[in-house]
Chains A and B, each alone.
Chain A
Amino acid sequence: MNRKIKKATTHVIQNEGLIFEKSSPGKKGYKLPELDVPEVNPSQVLGNAARADLGNMPEVSEIEIIRHFTRISTWNYGVDTGLYPLGSCTMKYNPRINEIVARLDGLANAHPYQPEKVSQGALLILQALRKALMEICGMEAITLQPAAGAHGELTGILLVRAYLQSQGNPRKKILIPDSAHGTNPATAAIAGYEVENLKSNAHGMVDIPSLEAQMNEDVAALMVTNPNTVGLFEQEIHKVAEIVHRKGGLVYMDGANMNALVGKVRPGDFGIDVMHLNLHKTFSTPHGGGGPGSGPVACKKIMEPFLPIPVVVTKKDGTLGFDYDRPQSIGRVRAFYGNFGMHVRALAYIMANGRDGLVQTTEDAVLNANYIRKKLDGVYELPYSTPSMHEVVFSDHKQTAKGIKTGDIAKRLIDYGFHPYTVSFPMIVHGALMIEPTESESLEEMDLFIDAMKNIAEECENTPEVVLSAPHTTRIGRLDETRAARQPILRWKPQAQSAKGD
């Protein structure tokens, strides 16, 4: 074992096959209650719509289920394991009280269609969260319906379209900086807009002359991320907004990076008209291995009439309820009211932090990113000298001389006991290493990370093959992704298991 690897060591890990490989007829993991009504014969009730059998569905006992999922879980790395510096993803601590309150009987077992009269508690949670988020964003209206960031983007752009349509012309194009996340252009396309690329300037920010030149009466909106994906605050954001507004367009903000701003500055105050938040980033709801998220959309008063139905309102009798009678609404973007369980968690996070904790959180997130930047500057190349906010983006320029790319360094980090940073994004930085520590990291954990990054840089010089063939300490090595795409095996089948299952 390499003595320089301080955070991690090797440990016996269990092998485990697929659940289907443990199945055999007659094993059971359930017991249903006795039926208290007469039994029925399915083929009598359903006729030829009755199903004969359930194919290869597994048959296993409870202990096998617990072991199966426990074993495979140990092959994962989570925020609970350690620093998870995945840039743009804000992998912060997921407080346990959030999980407890989301599982309280009245909240976890409430049906979305139960009468409002017996849903006042759930409605109050929605109302309290809306109020807090509008205050944080400096906005006047909000919907909690979108299920994730990209879904929020779509909702926001549909609001833009509806507003402009009400003014007579929905326009044709959306301007998107070349540093933007892939969901931005994909969203614009789904909303029926053409995408026009806006190039960044030498400081990694929106290029004002290009914006001036490209902004015209065909452009519905600019979709801007602030701080942007390079971790830089768009210092001329007010000018950007002014240029767009002057030509009658609107400014949409991708709020994925709000962790740098909460309590310090409000998008509504610097010219943003509509934006989304990622509760699964800034507001600590867990990522869950890919979701669920929640992507509330906050906007200015002018777009309020167009919000998705329903909207939570206080009724004449003082109780809370849903308003469906909104003729100008863009309609719905999801059934029911959104990912309510995530709303509960985000509100618990806001309450635990309070106004004081929210600001301290923002400061610590920015402090951590700048500490890493300072310590690794010179070890890895910084493509922009502009000051960083909550994340820092390096490039692999120094290491490519030895044939080592950002992806290789990322894999080597695994051996040092860390999850990799974000690789190869944003696209404007060639060979990007995008590092976002969040506020959840102690000085000790960050020093270990910095140490690991420095050691890897040395290895790139002295023993590049170690980096190129990393990781060395995981259950499996680098996987053949080309083969996965060329000969897709997307499900298990009883016969065609040629590869060795262990």
Chain B
Amino acid sequence: MRYLPKSPTDRELMLREIGIRSVDELFAPIPAEYRLKRELDIAPSMAEADILDWFRQRAADTAASGYANFLGAGAYHHYRPVVIDTLISRGEFFTAYTPYQPEISQGTLQAIFEFQTMICELTGMEVANASMYDGSTAATEAVLMAARVTGRRSAVVARSVHPEYREVLASYAKNQGIPLAEVPFLENGRVNAAALEKAITDGTACVLIQSPNFFGTIEDVAAVAEIAHRKGALLVVAIAEAVSLGIVKPPTEADIVAMEAQSFGVPLSFGGPYAGVIATKEKFVRQMPGRLVGQTVDKQGRRGFVLTLSTREQHIRREKATSNICTNQALIALMATVFMTVYGREGLKELATQNLAKTAYAVEQFGKTAKVLFQGAPRFNEFVVQTSKDPKTLNGRMLKQKIIGGLPLKKFYPELGNASLWCCTELTRRVAIEAAATALSPQKAKPQVVSTEVAQ
């Protein structure tokens, strides 16, 4: 086996040193009756070339760059600068463990410190952690954190939060005895503030909204914060589309921001690995879940970084910890750090503005052939389209033109009828937008295959 660095002679020698005849003796502690007496039902060892071929075939059976893709909904197709993979592929980064030993982990630690800083700059929060599993678990843990901070035990959740984030929250909250109240959205896509106000009680730990929300609509965060705070509840803002922070005002009025960083240079990869982040105010830091890196000095006064405030964590506090999280998404956070560095102060703004422009153009084009819902409030790079036909049928037709249409919403929002959620990023080409808009037209247009050569 090519990954195993020992010759038969080495093994013999080691057995002799240990003082046994055969390696089987080392497995003697396992009661014989439970030992597997046959080979595993798994194919024998494969050559590297054959493995590559097998996965190439699977990749060929899965649509990707050859298609114009209008899906968003929590996973976004942005360009990934090539330096990201160059840098994260350095063995010193990707084959290291969690930086428990700071003297030989300063690379990871400094990169996390930079990540925390950039997330603070972008979200307007004072502290950010080293990462959570993804946006859905970050939002969930933010709600649990709000319950610890306030000592209250229920939450109010906007129906316009990503449906799968809400499902994850429900799985956790149920066993913590945290009831969840759902608040509807208005005609303009924003959360219904009057209903929200009514839903908040003395026992409400927090209000959870998403902005841009699942429909792409940007919420009036300040107004929601005012309502929540007036009633003694915290405001948790989830952000699924991180690129929006380049041009959308950060949710500074929030108490906790729960973010998905996938948009920052992380491959779509059929849904993961991504990276969640929790950012908050300094005063709540001791109730935060997850790892934190802090700056300190050595004896000679030289700057260095360490994992800190770990008395919040499971390895010290066990059942009293703020969370059970241990392994997080460090390498994905590093991807995001490199991405944020590449685009930086000006580039993120330019990039986000391109997303706005593509979306504004798409909304205009789609408006000619279908109904674009939720007018009257600003949106970032997603929008909901209502058609006379079932979007699944329309999508099926578009697939032949190598267009992957918007996400049909019937499963999540039956009340919206034949609606689908569309997304445009800087990678969406004008010809694709026009072709898709035409395809939505009730009069069947002649199909035209969209070339995606320049797309990633």
Contact = CB atoms under 8 A, between A and B. Distances in A.
A187 B40 CA distance: 32
Contacts of B111: 69, 72, 289
A66 B83 contact: yes
Given A54-B246, A109-B268, A481-B308, A425 B319 contact: no
A80 B96 CA distance: 8
A353 B42 CA distance: 10
A490 B127 contact: yes
A147 to B, nearest CB: 4
B328 A485 contact: no
A161 B174 CA distance: 11
B267 interface: yes
Contacts of B305: 479
B232 interface: no
Contacts of B310: 485
B271 to A, nearest CB: 3
A253 interface: no
Contacts of A368: 14
A73 B93 contact: yes
A481 B306 contact: yes
B391 to A, nearest CB: 11
A162 to B, nearest CB: 10
B247 to A, nearest CB: 5
A49 interface: yes
B423 to A, nearest CB: 10
B13 A443 contact: yes
Contacts of A55: 121, 345
Contacts of B27: 264-265, 366
A108 B56 contact: no
A364 B6 contact: yes
Given A192-B175, A339-B272, A483 B104 contact: no
Given A76-B96, A182-B316, A481-B306, A291 B5 contact: no
A269 B59 contact: no
A79 interface: yes
B367 interface: no
A354 interface: yes
Given A387-B29, A475-B106, A480-B298, A337 B59 contact: no
Interface residues of B, number: 202
B29 A233 contact: yes
A135 interface: yes
A121 B61 contact: yes
A95 B3 contact: yes
Interface string B322-343: 0111111111101000101111
A326 interface: no
A287 B357 contact: no
A187 B324 contact: yes
Interface string B150-186: 0000000000001011011011101111000000000
B346 A492 contact: no
Contacts of A183: 314, 324, 326
A80 B61 contact: no
A276 to B, nearest CB: 12
B75 A78 contact: no
Interface stretch (A210-218, A243-251, A327-335): A327-335
Interface in A83-113: 84, 86, 89, 91, 93-95, 97, 99-113
A32 B271 contact: no
Contacts of A109: 64-65, 77, 267-269, 456
Interface string A22-66: 010100111011011111101001111111011111111010011
B326 A77 contact: no
B101 A74 contact: no
Contact of A374 (B17, B299, B347, B356): B17
Interface in A427-455: 439-443, 445
Contact of A291 (B28, B328, B345, B353): B328
A70 interface: yes
B82 to A, nearest CB: 10
A333 B175 CA distance: 13
A335 B45 contact: no
A114 B127 CA distance: 35
B55 A107 contact: yes
Interface in B262-313: 267-273, 275, 285, 291-306, 308-311, 313
Contact of B59 (A62, A112, A121): A121
A354 B95 contact: no
Interface residues of A, number: 205
B194 interface: no
Interface string B81-121: 10101111111111111111111111110110110111011
B128 interface: yes
A186 B323 contact: yes
B309 A485 contact: yes
A149 interface: yes
Contacts of B445: none
B105 A76 contact: yes
A476 B103 contact: yes
B11 A340 contact: no
Interface stretch (A150-158, A396-404, A457-465): A150-158
B3 A78 contact: no
B134 interface: yes
Interface in A117-138: 117-122, 124-125, 132, 135-136
B314 A57 contact: no
Contacts of A97: 48, 51-52
Contact of B325 (A76, A148, A265): A148
A474 interface: yes
A120 B62 contact: yes
Candidate in A45, A120, A344 with the most chain B CB atoms within 10 angstroms: A45
B42 A499 contact: no
A46 B249 CA distance: 9
Contacts of A360: 1, 4
B438 interface: no
B298 A290 contact: no
A251 to B, nearest CB: 14
A30 B302 contact: no
Nearest to B299: A477
A478 B102 CA distance: 8
A359 B42 CA distance: 11
Contact of B114 (A20, A50, A136, A278): A20
A93 B76 CA distance: 32
A150 B42 contact: no
Contact of B11 (A119, A331, A367): A367
A499 B297 contact: yes
B404 A118 contact: yes
Given A97-B52, A286-B94, A185 B58 contact: no
Contacts of A389: 26, 29
Given A360-B1, A414-B101, A119 B62 contact: yes
A12 interface: no
Contact of B247 (A51, A105, A115): A51
A265 B344 contact: no
Contact of B40 (A65, A135, A189, A370): A135
Nearest to B267: A108
B415 interface: no
23 contacts: A18-B117, A28-B344, A32-B350, A38-B360, A49-B378, A101-B52, A106-B64, A111-B71, A118-B62, A121-B59, A181-B315, A186-B317, A238-B34, A290-B291, A291-B328, A340-B273, A370-B26, A387-B26, A423-B100, A440-B4, A476-B298, A479-B304, A499-B302
* 4 interchain residue pairs of minimum CB distance: A288-B331, A336-B271, A106-B59, A80-B91
Given A45-B356, A110-B269, A119-B63, 8 more contacts: A37-B433, A55-B345, A65-B338, A103-B267, A115-B63, A186-B318, A290-B331, A440-B5
